[in-house]
Copies of this chain bind each other. A is one copy, B any other.
Amino acid sequence: MTKVKTRDRILNTSLSLFNSLGEPNVTTLLISDELDISPGNLYYHFKSKGDIVEELFAAFEAEMLDLLAVPDDVDISLDQQSFFLHLLFEAVARYRFLYQDLVNVLSRYERLQLRFKRILKKKTEAFRGICESLRSQNMMSADQEELESLCEQLTLTACYWSAYDTLSHLDDRESVDPGRGVYQMMNLMLPYFAPDVQEQAKLISRDYLL
């Protein structure tokens, strides 16, 4: 049978507790309690709480870098683009504990700072790539300054939408719906689309509102 290893159970449970309670509020004791194992056992698998955080971060990082490795010499369709956004928001939502208390987490685990910033930078670059692809297909028009501002706005929104959304229902922090985020991102780009593309984009984005 599929017997999940304790080590992985610790990671899974930690992630889920971090997401729902906030990483700083989750003690190693709570994690081991939730798993019905002893604190000592937890420390057999991870030499510190920070190690758990770092390993979760590494998984997040890997997913992100994989997702953001967009080939930049290919024409991108609106559908591909919204699908990309969808995946992006799902990934962020899965590791939302990082974003919810970002400054706090990054200041206590300093080694993550640079790596997080690198991901942020890649995100902006990916958005720039997408916009430039759309622009080269005459689906979008924006001057350099507008584009720069837009891509930063997209990065900011990709980061903080889930945290902002969480505010609306701080009571149950289990569920997060990535749909609204995608919708919002599409709306950010909308004004820069060509008229016919706008219509198409509106239809796609509304689907994400469920």
Taking Cβ atoms with an 8 Å cutoff, the residues of A that contact B are 21-22, 24-25, 100-104, 106-108, 113, 116-117, 120, 146, 149-150, 152-153, 156-157, 159-161, 163-164, 166-168, 170, 183-184, 187-188, 190-192
User: How distant is the Cα of A146 from the Cα of B183 in the complex, in angstroms?
Assistant: 11
User: How distant is the Cα of A156 from the Cα of B150 in the complex, in angstroms?
Assistant: 15
Checking B22, B149, B167 against A120 with a beta-carbon cut-off of 8 angstroms, the contacting residue is: B167
User: How distant is the Cα of A183 from the Cα of B149 in the complex, in angstroms?
Assistant: 9
Q: How many copies of the shown chain assemble into the complex?
A: 2
User: How distant is the Cα of A22 from the Cα of B164 in the complex, in angstroms?
Assistant: 19
- Chain B neighbourhood of A159, CB < 8 A: 160, 164
User: How distant is the Cα of A113 from the Cα of B167 in the complex, in angstroms?
Assistant: 8
User: How distant is the Cα of A184 from the Cα of B145 in the complex, in angstroms?
Assistant: 11
| B100→A104 contact, CB < 8 A | yes
User: Can you name 7 A-B pairs with beta carbons within 8 Å?
Assistant: A24-B104, A25-B107, A101-B102, A106-B167, A116-B167, A153-B188, A160-B160
